[in-house]
Chain A
Amino acid sequence: MSKSVLFKFNQVDKNFTLPQGEVTVLNQLDFSAYAGEFIVIVGPSGAGKSTLLRLISGLIRPSKGSLIYKDHPLDGVNPDAAFVFQNFALLPWLTVFENVVIGLEARNIDKSVREKKASFYINKVGLDGYEEAYPRELSGGMKQRVGLARALVIEPEVLVMDEPFSSLDILTAINMRDELIDIWKDPDIPVNTIVMVTHMIEEAIELADRVLVLTSRPGRIAGDLSISLQRPRDKQAPEFIKLVDQVFSLLT
């Protein structure tokens, strides 16, 4: 894999104004992310993990410092990033197909192309046959597949995932993790950089090329580990357990 920088945090601070006063959520964030990486961010609640993702997708801007995306400072919503949410964030009045296609609609893409792409990704996440169903009629795992397809269909360069498997039951989450790796490796699917947030250390070690450990309030980078274990990873392996312990000690 090439080692070209996709985005870079330059001494980024993010503050929020709360009723109690100004709160620094992220402090002095400084790192580069390379194209093709699977980065997982772990940290306790209040570490600003979700804030970091929102910075990457351009939903919010740094209070201090700058975020360089492909050699240019990021200004406004990042059209190359697609977001996957913990609670799916599907529009309940749209069918699966309409939910998936909405990003293409926003990009004024031809109807025939839209339909072809949407069907392709609905198929890829294993939802063919459910195009006309409403989110209400789907299980949690299926809803998150819709969320994933909706993000993938715009063929983003970076997939930004905010605890995507936390609302699912354990067995569904295990399946979805495997499928996520498959999608990431699939040569037919352009997205090859993933930034994901989790509070589960094992999930991080299982999925990531690189784990960023954040401290709590204000969020600072406490550790930056690269994980080079062979995939699929064995959770019982001593190396795996050693890494889990290492992240755990960084967190506490």
Chain B
Amino acid sequence: MSEFSGYIPSHVQHRVKHGLIYLFLLLVLLAVFIGIYRGGVHLSELEANQVTLSELPSALILSFFRMLVSYTASLFFAFFLGVLAAKTYLGEKFIIPTLDVLQSVPVIGFFPAAITFFISVSNGHRIGIELAACFLIFTSQAWNMAFAVYEAIKSIPKENLDAIRSLGVKGTNRFWKLYAPATIPRLVYNSMLSWSNGWYFLVACEIIAVGTIHYHLPRIGSFISRSAEQSELFLVFSGLAALTGLVLILDFLVWRPISIWSQRFRQDLTSNDDDDLGSLGLLPKTLISRIEEFTPPFIKLISVLTFPLAWIFNKILKPIFWELPKHPFKHIWKKTVTSLFQPVRKKLNAIIKKYIWLEQAVFWFISGVLFSWVGFIIYRWLQPPWPKIVKEIPLAILASTGRLLVAFFICLIWIVPLVLLCWNKPKIRQTLTTIAQVGASLPAVAFFPLIKEFAFKNFGTNGMELSCILLLLTGMQWYLLFNCLGGTATIPSDIKEVTRSLGLKKFLTWKRLVLPAIRPSMITGAITAWGGGWNALVVAEYVSYKGNTLSVNGIGALLSKATYDLGDGKAMAICISAMIIWILFLNLLFWKPIYNFSIERFKFDS
């Protein structure tokens, strides 16, 4: 690479900056319009009626729009928190552990709480549900992306940082020249994950039942579930096809080209392996380069669409706000601020440098306050009288864990042999990888109504347990398959050759090479799969079917019961807390040690 890879030319910066502003304004405007237009509709007017095919396009577009709003919010949030965490001591101390916990918590458990909150805030208006849904999608996307920003900035090679520093590049300039480009590869990768997560939760919260009334909104998720309830198989399949089509189109035409583009901003200068492109699977390389050529027109299209807005912005808003820096008042303002704050800031810095313990003290003070506050809340919850439901919690958690275990073993049973069979067949492996990627990016919840239909039709109400495990399976398996396949790709070619040259037969190769080699990625996959599983649990254990609610004994069902049947805030809070504590407990005492051990022992670097 002849040029410094992470440099965005200024005109591109300019365009990106303005493009983002336009896009954001466009979104805000649209949101306001839709809010005015739709927000006023009261919930009781939204009773479900017969589903028709004509609802499908608007349902799809409105769902997509929700995704866009939530993703934009997550992006800003990620940059804000990620930079804060990477660049400040206190930020790092607080934000990172918090994000870590938030990331491993089944967000869907919060949906009932969120919807109760937002509906009460919005006075029972529809905008409350909208906000709750957006909030839920946001929580499924933001942590992961904030982590990406944080880790990317943290892992900028020291020499690059030193070079920029020694050249005297500061402030926003440094942000655009160093930090922003450095975050791009990871941010894009995690955005893809977040985007699929978002689809999952979008559909989940559109399907989920709220209270005794089902708040059916004209959305793709509710379209599918309502069609299923009305036994309109054709509509179910059209809904699924439309959703799948949209997800795939976005995946292939937006995310994949962006992810190829993002590789230019990698800070390490090791040459890019062909395998990276290969992981794009079914797409032949020529097509990939075509798509890359195609991307600028795509961006042009966006600028054409936002052009009217840009015009308004340039002609009207910009003269008012943008020209301000030239105004003498601005200078005076700037001078005053600098003269006032510069000495204070310098002194503060001096104090902080002198008394490092001060920062520590602030850290402990704030965490003390936070902990005692949380402790107080928990204490208040634990005050008797306890809701009756509490006694059922331990057993429910065990039952749910057992169900997840069963689903996980089913995943292992089909995935591990498959991986062992195709680990050395690059073509099959790539096809499978693409299938797994696509499978993981499709919101499995969208298939829940279909699975429900299948299970109940064939097994009656006894089908509940079966459908539950099937549902969990759809939420878990792709992550495991995807990661295991990724693991086989990390086996260095000389090691493959040495096992062949020494004449290792199939079983010995599996035992000595393939199984150990995929161990770390298998565990990563398992952790992700279990995360997905806990989320799926809330939707899977408690379902409505033809007007009846069916449930199995489990923490997900208990949570839903506390919310919908009892409407008991205390019981709800206790259920969520118990679930979270159990998950964190499992992560800390089981997954983390296993993961650390396997990374240390089973990675290739010697």
Contact = CB atoms under 8 A, between A and B. Distances in A.
Interface of A: 19, 54, 57-59, 77-79, 81-83, 85-94, 102-103, 105-107, 134-136, 138, 143, 150, 154
Contacts of A135: 606
Interface in B347-396: none
Interface stretch (B150-158, B199-207, B418-426, B489-497): B489-497
Nearest to B492: A89
A52 B68 CA distance: 55
Nearest to A160: B501
B497 A91 contact: no
7 contacts: A54-B497, A86-B494, A90-B606, A91-B516, A92-B606, A93-B602, A106-B505
A167 to B, nearest CB: 11
A107 B501 CA distance: 12
Contact of A59 (B500, B505, B508, B512): B500
B498 A89 contact: yes
Given A19-B285, A93-B601, A106 B494 contact: no
Given A91-B495, A92-B602, A92-B604, A103 B512 contact: no
Contact of B497 (A59, A90, A134): A59
Interface string B488-524: 0000101101111111110010001100100000000
B500 A77 contact: yes
A83 B604 CA distance: 19
Q: Report the contact-size class of chain B (Cβ under 8 Å from the partner).
A: 20 to 34
A92 B497 contact: no
Contacts of B604: 92
Nearest to B601: A93
Contacts of B492: 87, 89
A106 to B, nearest CB: 4
A143 B495 CA distance: 14
B603 interface: yes
A138 B606 CA distance: 9
A57 B606 contact: no
B501 A83 contact: yes
B601 A91 contact: no
A74 B468 CA distance: 56
B501 A93 contact: no
B45 interface: no
B606 A85 contact: no
Given A89-B494, A102-B512, A105-B508, A136 B606 contact: yes
B503 A85 contact: no
Interface of A is mostly: loop
A45 to B, nearest CB: 14
A102 B602 contact: no
B605 interface: yes
A112 to B, nearest CB: 19
Contacts of B501: 57-59, 77-78, 81-83
A83 B497 contact: yes
A106 B502 contact: yes
Given A59-B500, A87-B494, A102-B499, 14 more contacts: A59-B501, A77-B500, A81-B501, A82-B501, A85-B494, A85-B497, A87-B492, A91-B495, A92-B604, A92-B605, A106-B502, A107-B503, A134-B601, A154-B502
A107 B503 CA distance: 7
Contacts of B497: 54, 59, 83, 85, 89
Contacts of A92: 601-606
A61 to B, nearest CB: 13
A102 B505 CA distance: 11
Contact of A85 (B498, B513, B601, B605): B498
A103 B601 contact: no
Contacts of A85: 494, 497-498
A87 B500 CA distance: 17
A88 B504 contact: no
A77 B503 contact: yes
B503 A106 contact: yes
Contacts of A58: 501
Nearest to B603: A92
A150 B603 CA distance: 20
Contacts of A150: 498, 502
A172 to B, nearest CB: 16
Contacts of A103: 502-503
Contacts of A102: 499, 502, 504, 508, 512
Interface string B572-606: 00000000000000000000000000000111111
Contact of A88 (B516, B601, B606): B606
A82 B503 CA distance: 10
A88 B604 CA distance: 12
Contacts of B508: 102, 105-106
B285 A91 contact: no
Contacts of A93: 516, 601-602
A42 to B, nearest CB: 21
A217 B494 CA distance: 22
B268 to A, nearest CB: 19
Nearest to B516: A93
Contacts of B606: 88, 90, 92, 134-136, 138, 143
B502 A82 contact: yes
Interface in B292-318: none
Contacts of A89: 492, 494-495, 497-498
A83 B504 CA distance: 13
A78 to B, nearest CB: 8
B503 A79 contact: yes
Contacts of A79: 503
B283 to A, nearest CB: 13
Interface in B467-498: 492, 494-495, 497-498
Contacts of B603: 92
Contacts of B601: 92-93, 134
A77 B495 CA distance: 15
A50 to B, nearest CB: 10
A82 B498 CA distance: 8
**A-B pairs with the 8 shortest C-beta distances?**
A103-B502, A135-B606, A89-B494, A83-B501, A106-B504, A89-B498, A93-B516, A85-B494
B294 to A, nearest CB: 19
